[in-house]
Amino acid sequence: MKTMDYTVGGNVVEPAFTPLSERAKQRTPGTIVFKRRADALEFMKVAEAEGYRFSGAELIDTERKSVKYGYFVSGPNGQLIPCGQDWGPVDTVFEKGDLLPARDGVEAVIQMVVTGRVAELAGVGVMIVVEQRPVRSAG
């Protein structure tokens, strides 16, 4: 999974950014609380231009919209079988090879993350294609 540098918290009036990654902690050692949303938005945009990533950015930048995520199991003969959905940012943190949380003794390994026209044809903004396999026991 792509690493997030900050998480967005606080509230609409006084938003806060908490550093998560080591590089974010070097830049800002502790949580930053802003008195105005506009100041938080400015900080976030400057940091993003420098390559920092924010979990929950859409809470500060109202121009960002969440999109529907569609999860699909890679079935026989390449058939994609829908297996769930939720919402998230277009700039997803998922990458090929990531493991999704196991359910009912089955884990899902991401095979592909698809956006654009192909995802739109599936009725979603982001397609997550997974391979399911039994959870490996520890030991």
pLDDT reading at 139 higher than 70: no
What per-residue confidence (pLDDT) applies to 127? 96
42 lies in the same domain as 78: no
pLDDT reading at 119 higher than 70: yes
Asked whether the whole model's pTM tops 0.95, one would answer no
Residue from 30, 34, 42 nearest 14 by CA: 34
What's the structural domain count of the chain?
2
Domain of residue 39, residue span: 6-59
53 lies in the same domain as 82: no
Phi/psi for 124 (5° steps) reads -135, 170
Helix (H) or strand (E) segment spanning residue 55: strand 54-55
